[in-house]
Amino acid sequence: MSASGASLVEFLEVMRRLRAECEWKQSQTHRSLARYLLEESHETLEAIDSGDPEHLREELGDLLLQIYFHAVIAEESGDFTIDDVAGGIIEKMVRRNPHVFGTERDGAMTPAEVNTLWESVKAAEKKREFVTDGIPPGLPALLYADKVLDRLTRAGDPVTVAASPDLGERLLALVAEARADGVDPEQALRDAVRRRL
Protein backbone atom coordinates (compact mmCIF):
# COMPACT_ATOMS: atom_id res chain seq x y z
CA MET A 1 0.00 0.00 0.00
CA SER A 2 1.29 3.43 -0.94
CA ALA A 3 1.04 6.36 1.45
CA SER A 4 2.32 8.91 -1.08
CA GLY A 5 -1.06 10.05 -2.36
CA ALA A 6 0.03 9.53 -5.98
CA SER A 7 -3.13 7.54 -6.73
CA LEU A 8 -5.29 10.41 -5.49
CA VAL A 9 -3.57 12.81 -7.87
CA GLU A 10 -3.89 10.30 -10.73
CA PHE A 11 -7.57 9.79 -9.93
CA LEU A 12 -8.16 13.53 -10.17
CA GLU A 13 -6.66 13.48 -13.69
CA VAL A 14 -8.84 10.49 -14.59
CA MET A 15 -11.96 12.36 -13.44
CA ARG A 16 -10.97 15.50 -15.33
CA ARG A 17 -10.49 13.46 -18.51
CA LEU A 18 -13.76 11.58 -18.06
CA ARG A 19 -15.56 14.88 -17.54
CA ALA A 20 -13.98 16.27 -20.74
CA GLU A 21 -14.44 13.22 -22.97
CA CYS A 22 -17.48 11.28 -21.71
CA GLU A 23 -20.81 12.67 -22.86
CA TRP A 24 -22.74 11.31 -19.88
CA LYS A 25 -20.28 12.73 -17.36
CA GLN A 26 -20.25 16.09 -19.18
CA SER A 27 -24.02 16.32 -18.77
CA GLN A 28 -23.99 15.81 -14.99
CA THR A 29 -24.51 18.52 -12.36
CA HIS A 30 -24.28 18.56 -8.58
CA ARG A 31 -28.04 18.10 -8.49
CA SER A 32 -28.17 15.22 -10.99
CA LEU A 33 -25.44 13.39 -9.05
CA ALA A 34 -27.10 13.80 -5.64
CA ARG A 35 -28.94 10.49 -5.89
CA TYR A 36 -25.70 8.63 -6.63
CA LEU A 37 -24.00 10.19 -3.61
CA LEU A 38 -26.87 8.99 -1.41
CA GLU A 39 -26.84 5.53 -3.01
CA GLU A 40 -23.08 5.12 -2.59
CA SER A 41 -23.30 6.27 1.04
CA HIS A 42 -25.85 3.54 1.74
CA GLU A 43 -23.78 0.95 -0.11
CA THR A 44 -20.79 1.93 2.04
CA LEU A 45 -22.88 1.42 5.18
CA GLU A 46 -23.88 -2.00 3.87
CA ALA A 47 -20.22 -2.85 3.31
CA ILE A 48 -19.40 -1.82 6.87
CA ASP A 49 -22.21 -4.04 8.16
CA SER A 50 -20.92 -6.96 6.06
CA GLY A 51 -17.56 -6.90 7.84
CA ASP A 52 -15.84 -7.62 4.50
CA PRO A 53 -12.77 -5.34 4.13
CA GLU A 54 -12.56 -5.86 0.36
CA HIS A 55 -16.21 -4.90 -0.05
CA LEU A 56 -15.63 -1.81 2.11
CA ARG A 57 -12.53 -0.83 0.09
CA GLU A 58 -14.55 -1.02 -3.13
CA GLU A 59 -17.46 0.99 -1.75
CA LEU A 60 -15.17 3.65 -0.30
CA GLY A 61 -13.75 3.97 -3.81
CA ASP A 62 -17.24 4.49 -5.22
CA LEU A 63 -17.90 7.11 -2.55
CA LEU A 64 -14.57 8.79 -3.36
CA LEU A 65 -15.64 8.88 -7.01
CA GLN A 66 -18.65 10.97 -6.04
CA ILE A 67 -16.50 13.39 -4.05
CA TYR A 68 -14.03 13.83 -6.90
CA PHE A 69 -16.84 14.13 -9.46
CA HIS A 70 -18.44 16.99 -7.52
CA ALA A 71 -15.04 18.64 -7.00
CA VAL A 72 -14.21 18.52 -10.73
CA ILE A 73 -17.60 20.06 -11.60
CA ALA A 74 -16.95 22.83 -9.05
CA GLU A 75 -13.43 23.32 -10.39
CA GLU A 76 -14.80 23.85 -13.92
CA SER A 77 -17.17 26.56 -12.70
CA GLY A 78 -14.45 28.21 -10.60
CA ASP A 79 -16.28 27.58 -7.31
CA PHE A 80 -13.61 25.46 -5.58
CA THR A 81 -11.08 22.67 -6.19
CA ILE A 82 -10.37 19.31 -4.56
CA ASP A 83 -7.44 21.03 -2.83
CA ASP A 84 -9.90 23.55 -1.36
CA VAL A 85 -12.01 20.64 -0.11
CA ALA A 86 -8.98 18.95 1.49
CA GLY A 87 -7.63 22.22 2.87
CA GLY A 88 -10.98 23.05 4.45
CA ILE A 89 -11.29 19.69 6.18
CA ILE A 90 -7.67 19.87 7.40
CA GLU A 91 -8.37 23.27 8.99
CA LYS A 92 -11.57 21.94 10.55
CA MET A 93 -9.89 18.83 11.99
CA VAL A 94 -7.07 20.87 13.52
CA ARG A 95 -9.52 23.43 14.97
CA ARG A 96 -11.93 20.83 16.36
CA ASN A 97 -9.20 18.67 17.90
CA PRO A 98 -7.30 21.05 20.18
CA HIS A 99 -6.50 18.10 22.45
CA VAL A 100 -4.28 16.78 19.63
CA PHE A 101 -3.10 19.88 17.76
CA GLY A 102 -3.44 22.60 20.40
CA THR A 103 -1.45 23.56 23.42
CA GLU A 104 -4.30 22.70 25.81
CA ARG A 105 -3.28 19.09 26.37
CA ASP A 106 -4.18 18.03 29.89
CA GLY A 107 -3.30 14.37 29.56
CA ALA A 108 -5.36 11.61 28.04
CA MET A 109 -9.04 12.22 27.41
CA THR A 110 -11.81 9.68 27.30
CA PRO A 111 -13.75 9.26 24.04
CA ALA A 112 -16.75 10.94 25.73
CA GLU A 113 -14.61 13.94 26.74
CA VAL A 114 -13.22 14.21 23.19
CA ASN A 115 -16.77 14.15 21.80
CA THR A 116 -17.88 16.85 24.26
CA LEU A 117 -14.91 19.02 23.26
CA TRP A 118 -15.66 18.46 19.55
CA GLU A 119 -19.30 19.45 19.99
CA SER A 120 -18.44 22.56 22.02
CA VAL A 121 -15.99 23.78 19.35
CA LYS A 122 -18.51 22.98 16.62
CA ALA A 123 -21.31 24.80 18.46
CA ALA A 124 -19.12 27.89 18.88
CA GLU A 125 -18.34 27.85 15.14
CA LYS A 126 -21.92 27.42 14.03
CA LYS A 127 -23.62 29.88 16.44
CA ARG A 128 -26.84 27.87 16.35
CA GLU A 129 -30.12 29.64 16.94
CA PHE A 130 -32.27 26.50 17.20
CA VAL A 131 -31.42 23.05 18.49
CA THR A 132 -32.09 21.56 15.05
CA ASP A 133 -29.85 24.01 13.14
CA GLY A 134 -27.43 22.03 11.00
CA ILE A 135 -29.18 18.67 11.45
CA PRO A 136 -30.42 17.56 8.02
CA PRO A 137 -34.16 16.85 8.32
CA GLY A 138 -33.81 14.06 5.75
CA LEU A 139 -31.73 11.91 8.09
CA PRO A 140 -33.18 8.52 9.01
CA ALA A 141 -35.64 9.09 11.86
CA LEU A 142 -33.65 7.22 14.53
CA LEU A 143 -30.47 9.12 13.69
CA TYR A 144 -32.38 12.41 13.59
CA ALA A 145 -33.91 11.72 17.01
CA ASP A 146 -30.52 10.74 18.43
CA LYS A 147 -28.91 13.98 17.22
CA VAL A 148 -31.74 16.15 18.54
CA LEU A 149 -31.65 14.42 21.94
CA ASP A 150 -27.88 14.88 22.04
CA ARG A 151 -28.19 18.61 21.27
CA LEU A 152 -30.90 19.07 23.90
CA THR A 153 -28.78 17.31 26.51
CA ARG A 154 -25.75 19.47 25.65
CA ALA A 155 -27.93 22.57 25.93
CA GLY A 156 -28.88 21.55 29.47
CA ASP A 157 -32.41 20.53 28.50
CA PRO A 158 -32.35 16.71 28.52
CA VAL A 159 -35.53 15.01 27.39
CA THR A 160 -37.32 12.70 29.76
CA VAL A 161 -39.76 10.49 27.96
CA ALA A 162 -42.65 9.11 29.97
CA ALA A 163 -44.51 5.92 29.16
CA SER A 164 -47.02 6.64 26.43
CA PRO A 165 -49.44 4.73 24.21
CA ASP A 166 -48.20 6.85 21.27
CA LEU A 167 -45.85 4.83 19.04
CA GLY A 168 -43.70 7.86 18.20
CA GLU A 169 -43.18 8.63 21.89
CA ARG A 170 -42.27 5.00 22.57
CA LEU A 171 -39.74 5.08 19.70
CA LEU A 172 -38.29 8.31 21.09
CA ALA A 173 -38.03 6.64 24.50
CA LEU A 174 -36.09 3.76 22.89
CA VAL A 175 -33.69 6.25 21.30
CA ALA A 176 -33.22 7.92 24.70
CA GLU A 177 -32.62 4.48 26.26
CA ALA A 178 -30.06 3.64 23.58
CA ARG A 179 -28.27 6.95 24.20
CA ALA A 180 -28.17 6.28 27.94
CA ASP A 181 -26.64 2.85 27.22
CA GLY A 182 -24.11 4.28 24.74
CA VAL A 183 -25.72 2.44 21.82
CA ASP A 184 -26.22 3.85 18.32
CA PRO A 185 -29.95 3.18 17.76
CA GLU A 186 -29.68 3.34 13.97
CA GLN A 187 -26.89 0.73 13.91
CA ALA A 188 -28.65 -1.41 16.52
CA LEU A 189 -31.78 -1.56 14.37
CA ARG A 190 -29.79 -2.36 11.21
CA ASP A 191 -27.99 -5.15 13.09
CA ALA A 192 -31.28 -6.56 14.39
CA VAL A 193 -32.81 -6.58 10.90
CA ARG A 194 -29.68 -8.21 9.46
CA ARG A 195 -29.91 -10.99 12.08
CA ARG A 196 -33.42 -11.80 10.79
CA LEU A 197 -32.23 -12.32 7.21
Q: What is the mean pLDDT of residues 63-89?
A: 97
Q: What is the mean pLDDT of residues 54-80?
A: 97
pLDDT bin (cut points 50, 70, 90) of residue 119 is confident
CA distance 189 to 39: 19
Q: Indicate where the chain has its CATH 1.10.287.1080 domain(s).
A: 6-85
CA distance 169 to 140: 16
Topology annotation, domain 6-85: Helix Hairpins (1.10.287)
pLDDT tens column, 123-165 = 778 777 787 888 888 888 999 999 999 888 877 887 787 888 9
Selection from 64, 77, 83, 73 nearest residue 27 by Cα: 73
Predicted confidence at residue 104, as pLDDT, reads 63
Selection from 98, 149, 89 nearest residue 120 by Cα: 98
pLDDT tens column, 20-52 = 999 999 999 999 999 999 999 999 999 999 999
The conformational region for residue 133 under phi > 0 = left, psi -120 to 50 = alpha, else beta, is: beta
Predicted confidence at residue 105, as pLDDT, reads 62
Does residue 1 register a pLDDT over 60?
A: no
